[in-house]
Structure 1
Amino acid sequence: MEQAMTPEEIKKQKPYLDWSLSEDEYNYISEKLLGRLPNYTETGLFSAMWSEHCSYKKSKPVLRLFPNKNSRVLQGPGEGAGVIDIDDGQAVVFKAESHNHPTTVEPYQGAATGVGGILRDIFSMGARPVASLDSLHFGELTDPKMRMKVDGTVRGIGDYGNCMGIPTIAGETTFDPCYQGNLLCNAMSVGLMDQKDLQKGKAAGIGNAVMYVGAQTGRDGIHGATFASADFSDENATQRSAVQVGDPFMEKLLLEACLEVITKHPDWLVGIQDMGAAGIVSSSAEMASEGQSGMELNLDLVPQREPNMSAYEIMLSESQERMLLCVNKGHEEDVKKVFDFYDLEAVTIGRITAGHDYVLYHDGQEVCNIPVSSLTDDVLEEASEEKKPARISVAEKQTAWVPTISDAEQTLRNLLQQSTIADKSIFYQQYDSQVRTSTVVGPGSDAGVLRVRGTRKGLSMTTDGNGRFVYLSPEIGGQIALVEAAANIVASGAEPLGITDCLNYGDPNDPEIFWELHQSVKGMADACRVFDTPVISGNVSLYNENNGKAIHPTPMVGMVGLIKDIQHVIPSFVQHAGDKVYLVGKTGNDFAGTEIQKMLTGDISGVLNSFDMEHVHDYMMRLLTAMQQGNVASTHDLSEGGLGVGLAETLFKTDLGMNIDIRHLTAAQLFSETPGRFVVTVPDAKTVAFEKTMGADALLVGEVTNTHWLEAHLQDAEINQNVAELQKLWEEAIPCQLKSKD
């Protein structure tokens, strides 16, 4: 097969620079690793595998800060997804992935294939996906183009998940101008499995078969990994060739076929891996590396849906719904029969070889012969310059901003209509959250909850991220991202188990952005240790910029928790008139980066106040104990909009009200966003036991009433609002913005 360019032409013309491979890297590959010039196909493979998206060459030093082990972790980072023991021989499997650039370019397919890709990561481990979550960050809805992108993204997520029959039960959606040119679409999937069925992406055993299963290979998604590893601009804003096209119906068949082989015929299988970023080259090279094996592939045998594809195109295509299996020699036909039943391709395209060479043939010619390790292990880590942004140094010397509230009632009404706070049901109603009938708590609560069939257990899950906080104070913002996720889990009555993450940042070659990455990961890692929630999987998404303007640094935390008895699930809304209302956690003057600051000033500024994570963790665990003892009727964590918004939200969709005495707080503090706080309601008969457990960390502030009015008495203001009217404002805000003709 004739190569597009000769090795000499590649050296001279340097096409690899457009594929995110630097000249230093190219020279290192040719001079140190190969001792010769790589050909066109080999150069393409190195470009993809050495991209930041696949290799984490810039972020690895930072990622090492994360804890990734404890007594429950069965599989940490390095496989398709992380795995945690949930007792009784069972395990929960979860991971999150970003699909930011593809969704910005082609919202529907970008979001849909983001969901498809993360689902394959879950069932490649031997688990059945049981729930999906998302974390979506858009520009402002005042922009007609953004409204179209929001619509496409939400439809893509809904259509793919609904067709797969997997409920979407939790997530988050925020709006900020910084995401106008580069939106964020992070998808998370959670699966359940018996621990005995755990699989790994490994290829080993000389003579064993490398089998390609699933959909045929086309030209969609070529160089998707490098597309995700470069700055975004108007020039590539329509780069649809790098966006894959998904088929959820085929993925459903692929899921069932793979799980049938894994669970019923484990003796046939050595390893299995999803063909995700960088397609065949990534899955095959990583499996060979894991198995410390060599591999030969005949690309003429790869099922192709388009004619005359080159070796370069076949290897780098990111066509969806494909998996790679390493099958014990002699069981190839057995595996093929299973996939034939599901009307899917299942072809032996290569074999495991002695040694450690990665060899490809196409059109009867050898088109690649390189050491496996050169693609997976020999990537040059890149040292990065760091610099604290001048804006933060300036802000640290300024007086902290405190809002002046002249009308607390109108301020509350206005805040409830802010797009990040307002009701998101117009979006999540497009998702089937009840399919498979295991959903206990669906979208709209602090966390989604799923029952574990055949047991008394439940799983709580959430996604959380706040780019504004991390932008102003990266380390503290990183801590808050973890604490907020833990608060969501605890509020549902669950013990936090571990996290996955999507680290969404701008160009790491900018010293200030790399400093943001480093400091925020440090904050997250510190919080993970305090809460004993190791990072078991995740994803780094850098270069989230448009025309040189970066998004706010936005680390997303996806957390899963265990409820040992599903009867102890705690709702987030009030239950009974007469229940006492407690405020858990102290309220400070925390206004930097808040919703009220953005609403009143049109921008964010200042630095975040530090807080005592150990103390927050301590009273969260005592709150969980109170829940498990049956002493709590409802719990809602306080985040965007602070206590004022939180009180209103606990009353929405009920016929109850509250009478609250918080004269120790000012009207401004009603909207402070101090982290780690909860509104908790307790049956009157349980208050003594609850107060004994919580001590000074819970303050009795009022009572649930049957009036459907929110009454709150503050130091310098009074709130007396009809809850039905507040709910109407909250519910209608986003639909009204979406219908705008501007």
Structure 2
Amino acid sequence: GASVLASAELGPDSADKRPSVQVGDPLTEKLVIEASLELVAKSIISGLQDLGAGGICCPASEMAAKSGTGIRIDLDAIHLREPGMAPFEIMISESQERMLAVVAAERAPEALEVCRAWELEARVVGEVTNSGLVEVVVSGETAASIPAAALASQAPLLSRPAVRPEGLDVVRAGPCGDDPHEDLGGCLLALLASPGGASARWIWEQYDHMILLGTVLGPGGDAAVIRLPGSAAAVALSLDGPGRLCHLDPYEGARLAVAEAARNVACTGARPAAVTNCLNFGNPEKPEVMWSFQEALRGIADSCSALGLPVTGGNVSFYNETLGRAVHPTPVIGMLGVLEDATAAVGVAFRAGGDVLALLGLTDPDDFGGGAYAAVINGALGGSPPHLDLEREGALHRLLAQAAAQRLLSSAHDLSGGGLAVALAESALAGGLGFRLTAAEPVVERHRWLFSESPSRALVSLAPENLDRLRAAAAALGVPMTPLGEVGGDTLDCGGFEVALAEAAAAHATHPFGPPTAF
């Protein structure tokens, strides 16, 4: 399974390990969810836990330890996809779409009938005991017996050495990639066609995101918004993982990851409410990797504390290395937001010609370290990440929620990879409408104004009659606001250069890793 694969480095002979990563089946997952909800609603079960990392070993030991009981698992009763599996493989297999339920013996037939109604395989695979042990039975013989608490909560704690990487100062002292280029239109097209900037439509179209008709804002924007059944409210969901920024400074990069995920949710009008994570790092037995891990955790904690966000859970993936070379420290942040009125949700797409464009937040012309312009245009990874002011970030979130609730905005889009220029292009492409910048000529080089990746900023469009109300709300919250121009036409007119909307669309539709193939 994935947790086993994530506990070993990959090398030249690792190709045969790749099939051990399970493939999810969203439709079966939906059936499992519905069956589980029915079992709970009918009070048929007394305990329920999913089978994730560690396979059946994990929920069996955790449920037994939490309840102060034991559990006996009969591996011969577990249905297998492949014959000839060894007992240890059955115990730790991470096949997806599985749950372990605890049911009173007399109600087991009811539980099995519910599962059959949802076209799911289900069997009685063991029993609860009073031994306090997790016992594994194979062919009628006890193959393993270990205290449940030893597996669940009393495992030995490791305190690994952590050392700041020696070469980090050299990297941060290197060029930050802010060199100017004459063809800024070409730079914009290159960013739109890059792996981090190209459309991911061919990926998210693999699954029907309109099932049950609860989707308010679908994939492709800052965050997806899904209406809650039987309620006027909705939830907003986003993911962010800035590996390049964390490579330069894992603490600041992790702070920025939380802030960007929260900003994505806030741009829809939702209030950021909770965080989950997936922490991807190299071999923690190497002190430099462990230091990066600790610093990233510190950054996540500081941002969550400042923004009032609880961390509901997450997972850690270590040993992401090939031939001794680790991935960039990459904490991926999942953010959930709450929108009290789903009809107030705001998308990234420009909606109407003649709408006013405005920039919320401050731009630092030197914020290029670890950015998309630096990486794609200048091939650089150096300097320091942008500085994050969490008070400004929180104020921007409150302004966006207030403006959405008052129906002031036609669109809102966070500024991150590629800065203002890419945000403008993405909103134009999403809405099929161009724009024209009419703001005063910046006092800095134009590429710094267009491609800087300063945090705590958002691009909004709105009807001209709403401009004064938004300006007053921004002033009340201390959020700088700069009118930029207007929506309309079929070109991306950035003042000093123009790009045809059709040309930008063609670049954005590029598949940077080659033509897509069916999953």
Answer whether TM exceeds 0.5 for this pair: yes
3-state SS of paired residue (1:271): strand
Which has the higher mean CA deviation after the structures are superposed, 444-453 or 341-350? 341-350
Q: 1:421 offset after TM fit, Å?
A: 0.8
- Given that residues 498 and 536 in structure 1 are in contact (C-alpha distance below 8 angstroms), is that contact kept between their aligned partners in structure 2? yes
Distance 1:449 1:532 in 2: 21
Q: 2:265 is matched with which residue?
A: 489
Distance 1:502 1:580 in 2: 38
Distance 1:490 1:615 in 2: 13
3-state SS of paired residue (1:235): coil
CA change 1:706–1:384 in 2 (3 A) is same
Q: 1:261 is matched with which residue?
A: 39
Q: 1:708 offset after TM fit, Å?
A: 2.5
Q: 1:320 offset after TM fit, Å?
A: 3.9
- Given that residues 269 and 327 in structure 1 are in contact (C-alpha distance below 8 angstroms), is that contact kept between their aligned partners in structure 2? yes
Q: 1:723 offset after TM fit, Å?
A: 2.4
Q: 1:375 offset after TM fit, Å?
A: 1.6
Distance 1:401 1:248 in 2: 41
1:330 equivalent to 2:74? Answer: no
Q: 1:611 is matched with which residue?
A: 388
* Residues 53-132 of structure 1: pairs in structure 2 closer than 5 A: none
* Residues 528-543 of structure 1: pairs in structure 2 closer than 5 A: 528-543=304-319
CA change 1:311–1:599 in 2 (3 A) is closer
Q: Give the aligned residue type for 2:335.
A: M
3-state SS of paired residue (1:492): coil
Q: 2:452 is matched with which residue?
A: 672
Q: Give the aligned residue type for 1:639.
A: S
Deviations 1:511-535 (A, max 9, x none): 1111111111211111111111211
Distance 1:496 1:365 in 2: 52
Q: 1:319 offset after TM fit, Å?
A: 3.7
Distance 2:233 2:159 in 1: 45
CA change 1:375–1:528 in 2 (3 A) is same
- Given that residues 175 and 382 in structure 2 are in contact (C-alpha distance below 8 angstroms), is that contact kept between their aligned partners in structure 1? no
Q: 1:701 offset after TM fit, Å?
A: 2.7
Distance 1:328 1:673 in 2: 57
Q: 1:100 is matched with which residue?
A: none
Distance 1:366 1:279 in 2: 19
Deviations 1:616-658 (A, max 9, x none): 2123212321221222221111111111111122211423422
- Given that residues 500 and 538 in structure 1 are in contact (C-alpha distance below 8 angstroms), is that contact kept between their aligned partners in structure 2? yes
Q: 1:342 offset after TM fit, Å?
A: 4.2
Q: 1:707 is matched with which residue?
A: 489
Which has the higher mean CA deviation after the structures are superposed, 524-533 or 397-406? 397-406
- TM-score of the aligned structures, taking structure 2 as reference length: 0.92
- Given that residues 357 and 370 in structure 1 are in contact (C-alpha distance below 8 angstroms), is that contact kept between their aligned partners in structure 2? yes
- Given that residues 657 and 723 in structure 1 are in contact (C-alpha distance below 8 angstroms), is that contact kept between their aligned partners in structure 2? no
Distance 2:19 2:174 in 1: 48
Q: 1:238 is matched with which residue?
A: 16
Distance 1:436 1:550 in 2: 41
Aligned mate of 1:444, from 196, 220, 241: 220
1:522 equivalent to 2:302? Answer: no
- Given that residues 238 and 265 in structure 2 are in contact (C-alpha distance below 8 angstroms), is that contact kept between their aligned partners in structure 1? yes
Q: 1:278 offset after TM fit, Å?
A: 2.3
Distance 1:339 1:459 in 2: 29
CA change 1:249–1:396 in 2 (3 A) is closer
- Given that residues 288 and 372 in structure 1 are in contact (C-alpha distance below 8 angstroms), is that contact kept between their aligned partners in structure 2? yes
* Residues 7-406 of structure 1: pairs in structure 2 closer than 5 A: 221=1, 225-240=3-18, 242-244=20-22, 251-263=29-41, 265-266=42-43, 268-304=44-80, 310-397=86-173, 401-406=177-182
CA change 1:372–1:590 in 2 (3 A) is same
CA change 1:276–1:493 in 2 (3 A) is same
Q: CA RMSD in A?
A: 2.4
1:719 equivalent to 2:501? Answer: no
- Given that residues 470 and 554 in structure 1 are in contact (C-alpha distance below 8 angstroms), is that contact kept between their aligned partners in structure 2? yes
CA change 1:490–1:249 in 2 (3 A) is closer
1:657 equivalent to 2:435? Answer: yes
Q: 1:260 offset after TM fit, Å?
A: 1.9
Distance 1:245 1:706 in 2: 44
Q: Give the aligned residue type for 1:415.
A: L
3-state SS of paired residue (2:461): strand
Distance 1:474 1:456 in 2: 39
Structure 2, unpaired ranges of 5+: none
* Residues 556-705 of structure 1: pairs in structure 2 closer than 5 A: 556-588=332-364, 589-652=366-429, 653-664=431-442, 665-669=444-448, 670-695=450-475, 697-705=479-487
CA change 1:509–1:708 in 2 (3 A) is same
Q: 1:694 offset after TM fit, Å?
A: 0.5
CA change 1:443–1:241 in 2 (3 A) is closer
- Given that residues 387 and 455 in structure 2 are in contact (C-alpha distance below 8 angstroms), is that contact kept between their aligned partners in structure 1? no
Q: 1:565 offset after TM fit, Å?
A: 0.8
Deviations 1:644-685 (A, max 9, x none): 111122211423422331522422211111112111122211
CA change 1:396–1:271 in 2 (3 A) is same
- Given that residues 281 and 326 in structure 2 are in contact (C-alpha distance below 8 angstroms), is that contact kept between their aligned partners in structure 1? yes
3-state SS of paired residue (2:182): coil
Aligned mate of 1:503, from 254, 279, 291: 279
- Given that residues 70 and 131 in structure 2 are in contact (C-alpha distance below 8 angstroms), is that contact kept between their aligned partners in structure 1? yes
CA change 1:431–1:512 in 2 (3 A) is same
Q: 1:414 offset after TM fit, Å?
A: 2.4
Distance 1:699 1:260 in 2: 50
CA change 1:317–1:401 in 2 (3 A) is closer
3-state SS of paired residue (1:347): coil
Q: Give the aligned residue type for 2:502.
A: A
Q: 1:418 offset after TM fit, Å?
A: 1.7
Distance 1:636 1:522 in 2: 28
Distance 2:423 2:74 in 1: 60
Q: 2:331 is matched with which residue?
A: 555
Distance 2:494 2:458 in 1: 16
CA change 1:298–1:611 in 2 (3 A) is closer
CA change 1:549–1:681 in 2 (3 A) is same
CA change 1:739–1:681 in 2 (3 A) is closer
Q: 1:397 offset after TM fit, Å?
A: 4.9
- Given that residues 405 and 667 in structure 1 are in contact (C-alpha distance below 8 angstroms), is that contact kept between their aligned partners in structure 2? no
- Given that residues 177 and 379 in structure 2 are in contact (C-alpha distance below 8 angstroms), is that contact kept between their aligned partners in structure 1? no
Aligned mate of 1:423, from 195, 199, 216: 199
Distance 2:48 2:227 in 1: 28
Q: 1:242 offset after TM fit, Å?
A: 2.9
Which has the higher mean CA deviation after the structures are superposed, 225-234 or 390-399? 390-399
Distance 2:299 2:507 in 1: 36
- Given that residues 60 and 134 in structure 2 are in contact (C-alpha distance below 8 angstroms), is that contact kept between their aligned partners in structure 1? no
Structure 1, unpaired ranges of 5+: 1-220
Q: Give the aligned residue type for 2:57.
A: V
3-state SS of paired residue (1:402): coil
Q: 1:305 offset after TM fit, Å?
A: 5.7
- Given that residues 623 and 694 in structure 1 are in contact (C-alpha distance below 8 angstroms), is that contact kept between their aligned partners in structure 2? no
Q: 2:506 is matched with which residue?
A: 728
Q: Count residues in correspondence.
A: 511
- Given that residues 658 and 703 in structure 1 are in contact (C-alpha distance below 8 angstroms), is that contact kept between their aligned partners in structure 2? yes
